[in-house]
Amino acid sequence: MATIMLTEPFTTPPQRNQRIAYGALVGALSSWPLALNLGLFTIYGTPEFALLVGNVFSYFFNLKRRLILTLNNAKEIAKDTRQFSFASISGPISYKAGQYLEWTLPHEGTDMRGMRRYFTIASSPTEGDIKLGVKFAPQSSSFKQNLRALEEGKTILAGQLAGDFILPKDANKKLVFIAGGIGITPFRSMIKYILDTDEKRDVVLFYSNKTYAEIAYKDLLTEAAQRINLRSVYLVNEKEGVPGGFPVEVEFITPDMIKNKVPDYAERVFYLSGPDAMVTSYKKLLRGMGVPRKNIKTDYFPGFA
């Protein structure tokens, strides 16, 4: 029950604290020797009853409906990276900057990886549309081939809103965002949200890509540098193709670089988003620098090297 029923994504609440409360409630109820005599019948504290109560609890937190979205437009925002803008025809969706949805795109000739994917909502809740930033591999899955070919006005389904990779409630907390490649999408959402709400947050962004051409959302990041004093450190593996004057460093992130660019790093909360290997290695690097576990938040994007 704990490994299959309790963890079923469709019925678990979207955020960690809610999931802990849900698990504790179901656990406590299923081990409680309950026998509630209601006259006509008696309710016993069975695991089934515990799950039923847990699901009612969870119902209040979950996005209850499957959204139907239509494609407004799609455009290239960096090399092999496209932004898709959708309108929800199922009414507005309430989400926090940095959260993600499970997307379903039924299509013919579905490959082994199926017709569902998780994608971060790259737009901010302050924007009218729902944006995605998607990276395409040279040999894309059938899902991605069909997403790329989706025509304006055509529909896609989304549901199961979830994610704890969101801004801290306390706007005075100083932050460091570390993004690898398409791992920038939750930060795009958060930065746009900060810009639109005029929140005063102190943020430093480290954004790594293999090449300059893969850097997405340059306009927004430049605007944020001017308006909310976002400090961005762009890192690439090769100097080739970088236009003169663009402030990019051909380096990997090192402890010395963090100490140099962010002298008050010990007071900050770090957000890491990107391929598994990158997130794991930077988490290790930060732990080695003495950053406490509670000050490191991670978002893994499987399927990228």
Ligand X SMILES: Cc1cc2nc3c(=O)[nH]c(=O)nc-3n(C[C@H](O)[C@H](O)[C@H](O)COP(=O)(O)OP(=O)(O)OC[C@H]3O[C@@H](n4cnc5c(N)ncnc54)[C@H](O)[C@@H]3O)c2cc1C
Binding site for ligand X (CB under 6 A): 100, 113, 117-120, 133-135, 137, 139-141, 143-144, 182, 185, 301-303
Cβ neighbours of residue 242 under 8 Å, at least 6 residues apart? 212, 236, 248
Q: Which CB, 20 or 137, lies closer to ligand X?
A: 137
Q: 237: burial class by Cβ within 10 Å (0-12, 13-18, 19+)?
A: middle
d(CA 198, CA 206): 22
Please answer whether residues 269 and 244 qualify as being in contact, where contact means their C-beta atoms are separated by less than 8 angstroms. Answer: no
CB of 181 to ligand X, least distance (A): 9
CB of 161 to ligand X, least distance (A): 11
CB of 100 to ligand X, least distance (A): 4
d(CA 193, CA 238): 31
Q: Which residue is nearest to ligand X (CB)?
A: 303
Residue 179: strand pairing partners: 207, 273
Q: Which CB, 120 or 232, lies closer to ligand X?
A: 120
Q: Which CB, 95 or 265, lies closer to ligand X?
A: 95
Q: Which CB, 137 or 266, lies closer to ligand X?
A: 137
Q: Which CB, 133 or 180, lies closer to ligand X?
A: 133
DSSP string spanning 146-178?
Answer: HHHHPPTT-EEEEEEEE------S-TTS-EEEE
Q: Which CB, 54 or 275, lies closer to ligand X?
A: 275
CB of 4 to ligand X, least distance (A): 20
- Going by C-alpha positions, the residue among 84, 281, 261, 63 that lies closest to residue 182 is 84
CB of 148 to ligand X, least distance (A): 10
CB of 41 to ligand X, least distance (A): 43
Q: Is the backbone of residue 98 left (phi > 0), alpha (psi -120 to 50) or beta?
A: left
3-state secondary structure 111-143: CCCCCEEEEECCCCCCCCCEEEEEECCCCCCHH
Residue with tokens 């089934």: 48
